[in-house]
Structure 1
Amino acid sequence: MNAEHAVLGACLTDPKAYWRVADLLVADDFAAGAHRKLYALIRDRANASEPFDAVTIHEADAHLGNLALELASSEGWRHGNVRAYAQMVTQAAMTRRIHAAGAQIARLEGSDVLGQAQQLLGACLPRHAGEVKHIREYLRASVAELQRRVNAKEAITGLPTSLPALDEMLCGYQPGDLIVLAARPSVGKTAFAIQSLVNAARHGKRVLFFSLEMTGVKIADRIQAHIAQVNAAGMKRPAIFDDADFGALFNAAAEIADMPLYIDETPALTVEALCARARQIHATTGCDLIAIDYLTQMTPPGGPKLSTADALQIITRALKGLAKELNVPVILLSQLNRDGEGHRPTLKALRDSGAIEQDADVVIFLHRPDPNRRDRLVLIVEKQRDGETGDIWLDSNYRHQRFTAIDLPVDDQPSKPQGFGRFGQRKQQGGWNGYQD
């Protein structure tokens, strides 16, 4: 309570004090009801460019004015320490919210008690965080990170994607990026995502996979087929396996068991529950990469009154915020609408693409140019916020759940094939450009 007195007393006697804590405090952070009302009145008057000293507060509200006069004349605090006092208030508020959440958690029932509990705990976080800093603060961090990369002599700065050509274009999956991987149904976006996750886990990176569509067992089946290089169909019809296949599967299972790979198979998660679970894993076991399969399988926020476009905007913004907060890449799988069927997809082919296109740092399409050639795909980096875009031709081995970059044979190249370089990429002066149908 002393910290609350100090914050309010400082704000009432020095207008600058309020603006030093305005980004950190909200009225609900105060424990006493009168303190909440007084801070809210100070906030409203400050935002309206009206004075908010004890005298003008008294003129506006005599009851609160008496409290304001008392706090303004109290002693023991300093204006220069007002932000430290505010941090004490927010810490106490978070503690109260956790205690209240604990009581609510004790009464929870239903099929997703853990998810509900994580949402309640997520709501306990401080309402605001961060502060404005001079560019030199970020410059120090930038130079330090650059020096670390120079000393480490890393070929890429992010997480390896499993495709050298894609690593070259993206410098790996970058921390803090929201990466959208989109395709029409049955093209292979889940299989490609799994290949990326397995590759990261093999490099010792801790991976969290939210599989909203497929069960954890089916994901494990695909990973085993991928590593063992056996026919994935045999996981449902093992009669087609021979002794060598079973031996490869057992070896793959032993390798997978030691991977830092975590799967949440809960269907229809809300974005709040998903983010809460990700934060929990990040805080306990650590997490280097998150993948979500897939966007429209998430329960839309806001109920039926919210349009699909608005719901997707809330989801993508929350996931971008999660990537930035945890400083990890977040791969979000999405379907393309029918604009992306039969011809080269563009950003407008993303379902309700406005929010996805705006919030994504990287947008990758998997596209099958020739429906009669299931084994031939082109990976299109359609958007990269701070880098190149371009195409990579892939050989898709669905039997083994594997994708490999290839140089496209001359006979199979699209019109105007000149300029295709390594791995089928087409590079032109001024940047990377995709082929044209």
Structure 2
Amino acid sequence: MRLSAPIYKLKRRARRLARDEKIALHEALDHIAREEGFSAWSLLSSHLAMNSPSKTLLSRLADGDLLLLGARPGHGKTLLGLQLLLDAAREGRKVVFFTLEYTEREAWERIHSLDGDVLGLGDKLEIVTSEDICADFIIRHLSGAPRETVSVIDYLQILDQQRSKPALSDQMLVLREFARKTGVVLGFISQIDRSFDPERETMPSVRDIRLPNPIELGVFSKACFLHDGEVRLQDVA
């Protein structure tokens, strides 16, 4: 069964309903679930868990993959990246979230919004916030990480904003070589260019990635795009 909106939008709708109607959040969540064809929010959540795109995505990733994760703002690319890390951590993998966008507190808040039960994952899930994040920084930090480590970088375009850092094309080539040698999976959250028109195409593609400075997109081995609750994964290289 396809939901009328992505899960994060349904939760947002429930919070608004709870506030407007002055009812408990769990009541509002159940109300939204019934609108979606489920008798309770717990059943809707179970349905999503069994059909989670993040679990499908994780199962498709091989050691050393470079993943491009792209969508327009508000379509869930960051949440999917974080859910991917949670799924990997629950498999016992080491996971690292490098973010130039959030503070550590904000990142943890986003993670808890996906799943409040992250106890026991503290030694697996690491959040790194630093203005110095770049290819060399990432490689130094992940040096010695076990194979099958999964890392998500938030986000691709910010790596290219500081003139003191190497060109993004050079950074990506270095990171691809590092991933191939170590077996670490690197995912890059990416913006989609405003020229993408959902009236003409139902899903963004590699050619819709916003790149102020060009890079060889064949550096990525896989790409995952989101739009209006739909998710599409494809091989690139």
Unpaired segments ≥5 residues, structure 2: 1-49
How far 1:354 moved relative to its partner?
5.5
Asked whether 1:261 is paired with 2:120, we answer no
- 1:212–1:302 distance in 2 versus 1, CA, 3 Å: closer
Asked whether 1:275 is paired with 2:139, we answer yes
Q: Is the 8 A contact 1:166 1:172 kept in 2?
A: no
Aligned residue among 146, 154, 162 for 1:293: 154
Match of 1:362 in 2: 222
Q: Distance in 2 between matches of 1:209 and 1:175?
A: 17
Asked whether 1:185 is paired with 2:73, we answer yes
Q: Distance in 2 between matches of 1:320 and 1:349?
A: 21
Q: Distance in 2 between matches of 1:209 and 1:170?
A: 15
Unpaired segments ≥5 residues, structure 1: 1-161, 229-251, 369-376, 386-437
Match of 2:91 in 1: 203
Q: Distance in 2 between matches of 1:196 and 1:167?
A: 7
- 1:188–1:268 distance in 2 versus 1, CA, 3 Å: farther
Any idea what the Cα deviations from partners look like across 1:76-124, whole Å, max 9, x if unmatched? xxxxxxxxxxxxxxxxxxxxxxxxxxxxxxxxxxxxxxxxxxxxxxxxx
SS in 1 for 2:143: helix
Match of 1:378 in 2: 230
Q: Is the 8 A contact 2:148 2:185 kept in 1?
A: no
AA aligned opposite 1:367: H
Any idea what the Cα deviations from partners look like across 1:272-316, whole Å, max 9, x if unmatched? 222222215x27xx7611111111122557659x8xxxx221122
TM-score normalised by length of structure 1: 0.38
Return the structure number with greater helix share: 1
Match of 1:345 in 2: 204
Any idea what the Cα deviations from partners look like across 1:347-395, whole Å, max 9, x if unmatched? 2101239525210000111112xxxxxxxx111224343xxxxxxxxxx
AA aligned opposite 2:233: V
AA aligned opposite 1:185: P
- 1:175–1:301 distance in 2 versus 1, CA, 3 Å: farther
How far 1:255 moved relative to its partner?
3.8
Match of 2:168 in 1: 312
SS in 1 for 2:174: helix
- 1:168–1:203 distance in 2 versus 1, CA, 3 Å: closer
Q: Say which structure, 1 or 2, has more relative contact order (CA 8 Å, 6+ apart).
A: 2
AA aligned opposite 2:195: D
TM-score normalised by length of structure 2: 0.67
Match of 2:109 in 1: 221
Match of 1:321 in 2: 177
AA aligned opposite 2:207: K
AA aligned opposite 1:208: V
User: Which protein has the larger Cα radius of gyration, Structure 1 or Structure 2?
Assistant: 1
AA aligned opposite 2:191: Q
Q: Distance in 2 between matches of 1:221 and 1:165?
A: 21
Any idea what the Cα deviations from partners look like across 1:411-434, whole Å, max 9, x if unmatched? xxxxxxxxxxxxxxxxxxxxxxxx
Q: Is the 8 A contact 1:213 1:267 kept in 2?
A: no
SS in 1 for 2:187: strand
Q: Is the 8 A contact 1:182 1:364 kept in 2?
A: yes
Match of 1:175 in 2: 63
SS in 2 for 1:181: strand
Q: Is the 8 A contact 2:63 2:184 kept in 1?
A: yes
Any idea what the Cα deviations from partners look like across 1:255-280, whole Å, max 9, x if unmatched? 444x5111111135232222222215
SS in 1 for 2:137: helix
- 1:287–1:380 distance in 2 versus 1, CA, 3 Å: closer
Q: Is the 8 A contact 1:212 1:297 kept in 2?
A: yes
Q: Distance in 1 between matches of 2:102 and 2:59?
A: 30
How far 1:322 moved relative to its partner?
1.9
Q: Distance in 1 between matches of 2:56 and 2:78?
A: 22
